[in-house]
């Protein structure tokens, strides 16, 4: 039987290899994903309207993930936003969470922690896990 109710995650990161490796992990776990190379690309394509959750890097060329978070939180029906960074510190984490982030993740990402945060935010990948 085909999976139903697959959750779609937007991955916003200026590093193509990071985007693709997260996409591979999420697809293996039963999620669908959309990839965006910048916050501006995501916002201009209104990506928040077609996904169940957003995973965004803090430091990207152009607008930061936290700036994008603050813009999206002002819009109706904003999905949960998880912020990730290689430059984690208490001040940045506090800023992200105060701005409305559902979670703050350090890079390199711990796959179990990422999946736990996603399941908390959207309730899992799909009704059925893909067959191996």
Is 131 among the domain residues?
A: no
Confidence band (pLDDT; 50, 70, 90) for 25? very high
Model confidence over 53-82: pLDDT tens digits?
999 999 999 999 999 999 999 998 899 999
Cα(123)–Cα(52) distance, integer angstroms: 10
The pLDDT-based confidence of 4 (bands split at 50, 70, 90) is low
pLDDT at 37: 97
47 within domain boundaries: yes
What domain range is 65 assigned to? Answer: 8-122
Identify whether 74 is part of a domain. Answer: yes
Q: What is the average pLDDT across 1-29?
A: 90
Using the predicted structure, report yes or no on whether residue 128 has a pLDDT greater than 50: no
Examine residue 12 and state whether it is found in any structural domain, yes or no: yes
- 132 inside domain: no
Residue 2 inside a domain? The answer is no
The pLDDT value recorded for residue 88 is 84
- Average pLDDT over every residue of 92-106: 93
Structural domain count of the chain:
1
Domain membership of residue 16 (yes or no) is yes
User: Which CATH number do you get for residue 79?
Assistant: 3.40.50.2300
Where does the pLDDT of residue 106 fall: very low under 50, low under 70, confident under 90, or very high at 90 and above?
Answer: very high
Reading the block at residue 42, the tokens are 């995501």
């Amino acid at each position: 039987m085909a999976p139903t109710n697959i959750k779609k995650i937007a991955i916003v990161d200026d590093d193509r290899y990071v985007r693709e490796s997260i996409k591979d992990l999420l697809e293996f776990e039963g999620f669908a994903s959309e990839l965006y190379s910048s916050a501006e690309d995501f916002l201009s394509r209104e990506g928040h309207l077609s996904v169940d959750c957003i995973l965004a890097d803090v430091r990207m060329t152009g607008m930061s993930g936290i700036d994008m978070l603050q813009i999206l939180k002002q819009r109706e029906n904003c999905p949960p936003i998880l912020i990730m960074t290689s430059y984690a510190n208490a001040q940045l984490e506090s800023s992200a969470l105060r701005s409305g982030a559902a979670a703050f993740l350090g890079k390199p990402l711990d796959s179990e922690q990422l999946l736990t945060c996603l399941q908390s935010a959207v309730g899992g990948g799909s009704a059925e896990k893909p067959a191996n």
